[in-house]
Amino acid sequence: MNVASWWESLLYRSDQPLLFTQTFFWLFFAVVLIGYSLVYPRQRWRNAYLFVVSLFFYYKTSGLFVGLLLFSTLTDYWIGLAMAKTSATTVRKSWLALSIFLNVGVLVYFKYAYFFTDTFNALLGTEFSVYNHLAHWSNGFFGTSFRAEKILLPVGISFFTFQTMSYAIDVYRRQIEPVRNLTDFGFYVSFFPQLVAGPIVRASEFVPQLSRPYHLTRAAFGIAIFWILNGLIKKIFLADYLAVNFIDRVFAQPGSFSGFENLMALFGYSLQVYADFSGYTDIAIGVAALLGFTLPVNFNSPYKARNVGEFWKRWHISLSTWLKDYLYIPMGGNRHGSLFSWVMVGLIALFILLFDRSWTTAGIIASTLGGLWLLMRFLPGVRSHVHTNINLMLTMTIGGLWHGASWNMVIWGALNGMGLVVYKYAKRWGLLAGKETWLYRSAAILLTLTFITFTRTWFRGESLEMASLMLSRIAYAFRADLIPEVITGYNTVFAIMVTGYVIHWLPARWKSGLRVTFARAPLAAQAAAAAGAVLLVYQVLTAELQPFIYFIF
C-alpha cells in the first residue's frame, strides 16, 4: 500500500463506516492496543489517548459530525462545572435547563426535522420544506460545500445526547461530582466501543473507572474474547443471514408473500433485531474489557420474559432505566401527574383532532377527557390510576419516538405502553396467577414473545400502509397449504431461526458455564475456538456489508 492509498484509508467515506464486522476495525483496534501498551500506566495519558482514538473512530463512522460530538461534550462539561460552582437552586436549574435545551434541540434538529415538518404540512395543508441552516452557515463562513437542502442524521446521536444529558441531570441532583478534567469527560462521552449504539452509560457507572489502574486478569481476558466472538456470531451468522436471505425480502414486498411467510418474517425479525443489537453490545463489552473498562449489561435474555413488564426489564436495559429515572419518575411516576404529562396529553389530543377533523372525533376526545376529569374529581382513588397510566403511556410513546422519527415508531411505543398497562391490571386482578409449571412458563413466554413480535410490525415496517398490508396478509392470506413448501424452500433459514431461539432459551447457568470454560481453557484452545468462530461467520458473510440496526437511532 502506497502513502496515498494509506492516507485515503484514514479519511471518512460514507459508504465505508467503521463497523465491528469490518477487517479495518480490527486493524484499527490492533493499532490502538499497541499505542495503549505505551500509555496505560499513566491514567491521564491513557484517558487522553483513548479520547483521541475515539474521536477518530467517530470521524470514520460519521465524518465531520465529530464536531457535533465535540459540541455536546464541551457544553455539558462546562455546564457541569458551572453547576458545581453555585448552590443557588435557581441558577443550577437554569444551567440544567440549558443542557436539556441544547441536547434536545440538537436531537430534534437532526433527527426530527423531517417528521415535524411533514406532520405540520399534513395537518395544515402547508408546503414547508426542510432546510439545513447549519450547512448554509458553514458554506458561507468556512467555504464548505455541504448540501443545504438536506439534513443528514449523525450516527449515534440519540445515544451520546442522552448520555451527556443524564450527566448534567445527575450533577444537578448532586448524585455525582462533575468531572474536572476535559479529556476525562471527553473520553467518558466518546468511548468508541459503545459510542454509536450504546449501551447508554451513566457517569456514576463509568467515571469512577477513569482513575482506576489498568488491570486485566487471565480469566477476564478469556471472558472478553468470548463476548467478542459471541457478538460476531450473533450479528453475522444469525442477524445478517436471516435478514438477507428471508426477512428483508418479505418486508420489501409483503403483498407478494403468503400470510405464513409474513408471520415467519416477523418472528425472524424479532430474532434478528435481538441478535443484531445484543451482538453489538457483546462486542462492545468485550472490546471495552480488553482496555480495562466495564460496560453495563444491556440485555438479559429478553425472550425468556413471561410478561411485558419483565421484557422491558430485560431488553435495552440502559434505555429502559434511563426513561424510568429521567422521564417517568420526574413526570410523577406512579404517584401523581405533572404539568408536562397533561400538556403532552393535550398535544396528542390536538394532533388526533387535526388528523381527523370530524365532530365524531372531537366528541370522543371531549367525552374521554371530560369523563376522566369527573372521575378524578369525585373519585380520588381513580386519580392515581389515571396519572400512573398516563405517565406510563407517555414514557413508552416517547421511547418509541426516540427509536425513530415516524408515526410507526409512535404507534410501536404506544402499543408497548398499552401492553404494560394491561399487564399491570391483569397482575393486580390475579389473572396471571398460576402454578409455576413448565407448561405455564412456556405459555407465558410464548404469549409475551408473540405480543412483542406483533408490535414489531410497526417497528420494522417502512410505513403505516406496509404494516397494515403485512397484518392483512397474515389474517386473510395465511395459506396453510403452502407451509410445507415454504419450509422446504427456506429450510436453512428456518433451521438457523429455530437454533437461534433454542440457544436463547437455554438456561443461563449453561451459558455462564460455557463462558467460564472458555475463559479457563489454554490459550491454544481459545485460539482454535476463535479461528473456528471466525471461519463460521465468514462462511455466511454477505457480499454487501450489513450495518447494525441501531446505528440509525
- What lies within 8 Å, CB to CB, of 342 at 6+ separation is 390
197 belongs to a structural domain = yes
Average pLDDT value for the chain: 85
Q: Are 110 and 157 in contact (CB under 8 A)?
A: yes
Q: Are residues 131 and 70 in the same domain?
A: yes
pLDDT by residue for the chain (553 residues), tens only, comes to: 555 566 666 777 766 777 888 888 889 999 999 999 999 888 889 999 999 999 999 988 888 888 889 999 999 999 999 999 988 899 999 999 999 999 989 888 888 887 777 777 776 777 778 777 777 676 766 565 666 667 777 888 888 999 999 999 999 999 999 999 999 999 999 999 998 887 989 998 999 999 888 888 889 999 999 999 999 999 988 998 999 899 999 999 999 999 999 999 999 999 999 999 999 999 999 999 999 999 999 999 999 999 999 999 999 999 999 999 988 888 876 776 677 777 777 777 766 666 556 677 677 777 877 777 777 777 767 667 777 788 888 888 888 888 887 888 888 998 999 999 888 888 877 776 666 788 888 899 999 999 999 999 998 877 888 889 999 999 999 988 899 999 999 999 999 999 999 999 999 999 999 999 998 988 888 889 888 888 877 776 665 667 777 766 6
For residue 60, the 8-state DSSP code is H
Helix 23-39, helix 43-62: angle, nearest 10? 160
What is the reported pLDDT for 315? 94
Q: How far apart are CA 27 and CA 57, in angstroms?
A: 12
Write out the DSSP string of 191-249. -TTTTTT-----HHHHGGGGGSPP---HHHHHHHHHHHHHHHIIIIIIIIHHIIIIIHH
Whether residue 486 sits in one domain with residue 389: no
Ramachandran category for residue 176: left, alpha or beta (phi over 0 → left; psi -120 to 50 → alpha): beta
Let me know whether 241 and 208 are in one domain. Answer: no
Residue where the block lists cell 426513561? 323
User: Is the separation of the CB atoms in 236 and 228 below 8 Å?
Assistant: no
Q: What angle do CA 329, 332, 334 make, to 5 degrees?
A: 85
Domain count of the fold of the chain: 3
- 383 close to 376: Cβ distance less than 8 angstroms: yes
In a domain, 440, yes or no: no
Instruction: Show Cβ contacts of residue 224 under 8 Å, excluding neighbours closer than 6 positions.
Output: 216, 285, 286, 287, 289, 290
12 located within any domain: no
Q: How many CB atoms lie within 10 A of CB 168?
A: 25
Cα–Cα distance measured from residue 362 to residue 438, given in angstroms and rounded to the nearest whole number:
49
Claim to verify: residue 80 and residue 177 sit in the same structural domain? yes
Q: Has residue 525 been placed in a domain?
A: yes
- 18, containing H or E segment: none
Residue 231 and residue 185 in one domain: no
Q: Measured between alpha carbons, how far is 121 from 129 in angstroms, rounded to an integer?
A: 9
DSSP assignment of 332-390: TTTT---HHHHHHHHHHHHHHHHHS--HHHHHHHHHHHHHHHHHHHH-HHHHHHHHHHH
Which residue in 292, 382, 394 sits closest to 348, CA to CA? Answer: 394
**According to the model, what pLDDT value does residue 279 have?**
92
Q: Classify residue 156: in a domain, yes or no.
A: yes
Residues 176 and 274 in one domain: no
Domain span at residue 419 reads 308-431
Assigned C-alpha cell, 185: 469527560
Is residue 158 within 8 Å of 402, Cβ to Cβ?
Answer: yes
Calculate the dihedral angle through the C-alpha atoms of 32, 37, 42, 47, rounding to the nearest 10 degrees.
10
Tell me which amino acid residue 187 is: F
What pLDDT sits at residue 506? 93
Model pLDDT, residue 146? 66
Residue 24 lies in a domain: no
Q: Which residues are tagged catalytic?
A: 403
Q: Are residues 294 and 340 in the same domain?
A: no
List Cα–Cα distances, 523 to 31, 105, 527, 529, in angstroms: 22, 50, 6, 10
Q: Does residue 207 sit in the same domain as residue 220?
A: no
Give the model's pLDDT for residue 471. Answer: 92
Query: Which residues touch 534 (CB under 8 Å, ≥6 apart)?
Result: 229, 232
* Boundary (domain end) residue, out of 214, 235, 266: 214
pLDDT in tens, 177-195: 999 999 999 999 999 999 8
Backbone torsions φ then ψ of 58, nearest 5 degrees: -70, -35
**Boundary (domain end) residue, out of 214, 238, 272:** 214
Same domain, yes or no, for 226 and 208?
no
Please indicate, yes or no, whether residues 266 and 161 belong to a single structural domain of this protein.
no
The reported pLDDT for the residue numbered 100 is 92
Contact 65, 156 (CB under 8 A): no
Contacts of 198 (CB under 8 A, 6+ apart): 159, 280, 281, 284, 298, 316, 318, 319, 550
Convert the pLDDT of each residue in 271-330 to its tens digit: 999 999 999 999 999 999 999 999 999 999 999 999 999 999 999 999 999 999 988 888
Query: Same domain for 46 and 179?
Result: yes
Residue at 98 is within a domain: yes
Per the CB < 8 A criterion, the answer to whether 66 and 186 are in contact is no
Whether residue 175 is found in the same domain as residue 145: yes
In a domain, 17, yes or no: no
From 169, 196, 214, the end of a domain falls on 214
